[in-house]
Amino acid sequence: METLSSRQVYANSWMTVREDAIRRPDGSDGIFGVVDKPTAAVVIPFDGERLHLVEQYRYPVGERRWEFPMGTAPERAELDPAELAARELAEETGLVAGRMELLGRLDIAPGMSSQREHVFLATDLTAGPPAREHQEQDMRTAWFTVAEFEDGVRGGRIVDAQTLAAYLLLTLHPRR
């Protein structure tokens, strides 16, 4: 596939949206709308028996969601994924990990977004105060046993796709 032209149609502090004119391998022309976002990190805080999740209001779906701590750097900055993971964990939960291990990577929505995510397992946790961003002020946190987490997934109370994909990487991890 060949990109013929590209133009930015929208930008804010978290993302840009562009429209690309493309030529397909058969010679036909088309367009793609692409949401560009910086690299993100998902962190699975795990104390050996329990998982630590955050709950916040997600405006696009109009509901609160339980999910693993995750995010990107402000102003679309690119940070080292491990640094970003440690930052998001401390910011959202107040937890500091003595050990942070990369479990894998995820493509968020490759049909419409360039964003990629790195999933980390955070262990040897020490509690501290969170330092949430202004838009995260209504965030809540809680520990879930593995059984409670899985019941939440089965019962439709935990539905965030990134959290579910990250949990799959955890279940496939050889040390689990």
Angle between helices 161-172 and 146-154 (to 10 degrees): 130
The share of the chain scoring above pLDDT 90, in percent, equals 84
CATH number of the domain located at residue range(s) 40-172 in this protein: 3.90.79.10
For the stretch 30-83, pLDDT in tens is: 999 999 999 999 999 999 999 999 999 999 999 999 999 999 877 767 789 999
Res 129: pLDDT: 83
* Average pLDDT across the chain, whole number: 93
Please work out, in degrees rounded to the nearest 5, the angle formed at the alpha carbon of residue 48 by the alpha carbons of 47 and 51.
55
Per-domain residue ranges for the chain?
2-36, 40-172
- According to DSSP, the residues that pair with 35 across neighbouring strands are 17, 113
Name the more confident of 72 and 20.
20
Single pTM value for the model:
0.91
Q: Which two tokens stand for residue 151?
A: 């019941």
Res 137: pLDDT: 77
Q: Is pLDDT above 80 for 154?
A: yes
E strand or H helix at 164:
helix 161-172
Q: Is pLDDT above 60 for 176?
A: no
Res 175: pLDDT: 67
3-class DSSP state of 82: helix
- How confident is the model over 94-116, as a mean pLDDT? 95
Please work out, in degrees rounded to the nearest 5, the angle formed at the alpha carbon of residue 112 by the alpha carbons of 106 and 114.
50
Name the one residue in this structure whose structure tokens are 């019941």. Answer: 151
- Strands 40-45 and 116-126 turn out to be parallel
- How confident is the model over 9-13, as a mean pLDDT? 94
Residues 7-22 as b/e (b if ≥16 CB within 10 A, e otherwise) read eeeeeeeebebbeeee
Res 72: pLDDT: 86
Res 41: pLDDT: 96
